[in-house]
Amino acid sequence: MFALDVQQLTKTYRGGFQALKGIDLQVDEGDFFALLGPNGAGKSTFIGIVSSLVNKTTGQVRVFGNDQDADPEAVKSCIGLVPQEFNFNLFLPVIEVVLNQAGYYGIPRHEAKIRAERYLRQLDLWDRRNQEMRRLSGGMKRRLMIARALVHQPRLLILDEPTAGVDIEIRRSMWSFLRDLNAEGTTIILTTHYLEEAESLCRNIAIINQGRIAERTSISALLNKL
């Protein structure tokens, strides 16, 4: 089964700009997949649609066999999204950011607390659990967004430019966390414009440019060509 199966996906924004021009893309269950492309290529639009935050114009999105139009709730429950921007809830304590997200998915409070502790410890944020989110550094906020995205234990984790602007040490620790998560069975798709990040983490890659998939290959095949 594919973790993600996208057919003929298009997106035209209000005002008429066509950000996606017919995307076909399949990602295998268990894959660690990179969507690489320059700014404005359509990466955020693509993952916004897959994560049900942006409406598509035409096409079909299936996540672990669930059709997004027929069963939107099943699709949402399979996906955890780590967005690029997070300027919400800045006055909320770190742990509440995770617990609120658990509430959104209807996870009982006692179970939510167990998971929040597990992920905040793994991501080195447990000592900060009572601090307001606005007190965190950029790298800490991103790690918090990962904990938040994992609280409903999604089978597919999608990250939008997860390490942009994060210093090298924190980046390495995030990479190692994501590698372990993938090894335990979570399918991961990330967007990046660093080839180095894709190279270090991912098995397969699609290059997106001007709303189209320019290339879909394995990292090793891509590196052999360069």
Candidate segments 48-56, 59-67, 116-124, 131-139, binder of ligand ADP by CB under 6 A: 48-56
In this structure, what token pair is assigned to residue 198?
């894709």
Could you give the angle at the alpha carbon of 145 between the alpha carbons of 33 and 36, nearest 5°? 25
Candidate segments 49-57, 112-120, 122-130, 136-144, binder of ligand ADP by CB under 6 A: 49-57
Residues with Cβ within 8 Å of 225's Cβ and at least 6 positions away in sequence, in order, are: none
Q: Give the interface size with ligand ADP as a residue count (CB under 6 A).
A: 21
CA 16 to mean position of chain CA atoms:
27
Kind of pairing between the strands at 212-218 and 66-67: unpaired
Residue 214 DSSP SS3: strand
Residue whose C-alpha is closest to residue 37's, from 196, 185, 191: 191
Distance between CA atoms of 16 and 29, rounded to whole angstroms? 35
Considering the complex, what minimum distance in angstroms separates the CB of residue 2 from ligand ADP?
18
Q: Pick one of 10, 12, 26, 52: the residue that binds ligand ADP (CB under 6 A).
A: 52
Tell me whether residue 109 or residue 172 sits nearer to ligand ADP (CB atom).
109
15-44: contacts with ligand ADP (CB under 6 A): 15, 17, 19, 37, 39-44
113-132: contacts with ligand ADP (CB under 6 A): none
Contact positions vs ligand ADP (CB under 6 A) = 13, 15, 17, 19, 37, 39-45, 51-53, 76, 79-81, 104, 149
